[in-house]
Copies of this chain bind each other. A is one copy, B any other.
Amino acid sequence: MLELMTNSEINVEFNATQPAVKIGFIGLGAMGFPMAGHLAQHFETWVWNRTPIKVTEHAKMHGSTVVSTLEEFGQVDLLFTCLPTTTEVIEVAAQVLHGLNQDSRLKTWIDCTSGHPQEALLLASSLSQHGISFLDAPLSGGTVGAHNAKLTSMVGGSELALEQALPALKTFAAKIVRVGDVGAGYTVKAIHNVVLAINLWGIGEGLTTLSSLGVDVGAALEVINHANGRSFASEKLVPERVLTRAFPATFKLGLLSKDIGIAVDMVGRSSASTPMILLAHSLFKAAKSQIGADQDHTAALKLLEQWAGIELKT
């Protein structure tokens, strides 16, 4: 049922079969900039960004084509969006749709935003009236994965549309999984992110308790990471971002909090009772308010530190 692919065989496939595919890319942020760079290596790629300087820079660095207005994107075959929230996606969609005419060739819209499933359904419905297929294809792997073309993409939408988008997706994603119809990609992403948030907060609570009892946090983490309590959060995030006190803001607390809110909305539409997801929602929202939306998501643990009167470090 699910499709698993790697980006190992990209070059072979592309040059032979899709020489004339034109790609559009809207949103050259920390993720989008390198993603569009990978695309530009294989396709004619048109780029747009709210802050224009990024566009010029991208064209210079990656040979992409600068697009001055969103209305021009009717001229590409596949259009990617990679924006902070669904709100921005809907805004740009209005302008792109406004620019469509008889000569437009846009067939597939791939949104890599960590978006809202319900709003995705509305957007997909609008696009389908113009013969455009929609895929929600949010990503995991962070800015490092974007640079290394090692992202994981969870895709919602039709198998046919995914087939269209696959060669392009493969330029930056090492793992591509279709998880269901439109909205399923966003849903899995939101749930993924709240699972990450729970793992992070859980190890945070554990280490905060140990620290306030005088146990060496580094030794405890060493044990946990050799044992069954380990997670990406305990193996990577805490040692690299928290214990170093670096908290590099590559994935902001405000965005994680937004994603958890989406997960909570989806829980509300499901039959599931999820006390831990809902607790995580409150805690990360409080952390966003107290620590700052622009801080790295791992800085949420500073709330635990404040409560306990300790600092997590080795």
Is there contact, CB below 8 Å, between A227 and B141?
Answer: yes
Query: Are A308 and B279 within 8 A (Cβ)?
Result: no
Residue of B nearest to A275 (CB): B282
B213–A177 CB distance below 8 A: no
A219 contact set on B, CB distance < 8 A: 1-2, 177-180, 188
Cβ-defined partner of A208 (8 Å) among B141, B193, B274:
B274
Among A56-64, A94-102, A160-168, A194-202, the stretch in contact with B: A194-202
Question: What's the least CB distance linking A236 to chain B, in Å?
Answer: 8
Kindly supply a per-residue 1/0 record for chain A positions 10-26, scoring 1 wherever the CB is within 8 Å of any chain B CB and 0 otherwise. 00000000000000000
A152: Cβ under 8 A from any B Cβ = yes
Residues of B within 8 A of A177 (CB): 219, 222-223
What is the CA–CA distance of A306 and B291 in the complex, to the nearest angstrom? 11
Stretch at the interface among A32-40, A77-85, A106-114, A264-272: A264-272
Given A4-B222, A179-B215, A271-B308, 8 additional A-B pairs, CB 8 A = A140-B227, A142-B228, A180-B219, A198-B198, A198-B205, A209-B267, A276-B280, A278-B279
30 A-B pairs in the complex with CB atoms less than 8 angstroms apart:
A1-B218, A152-B223, A154-B220, A175-B223, A188-B215, A191-B210, A192-B229, A193-B229, A195-B206, A198-B198, A198-B202, A199-B199, A201-B276, A202-B277, A205-B276, A208-B272, A208-B274, A212-B271, A231-B231, A272-B304, A273-B289, A273-B304, A273-B308, A274-B304, A275-B278, A275-B283, A278-B279, A279-B279, A289-B306, A290-B306
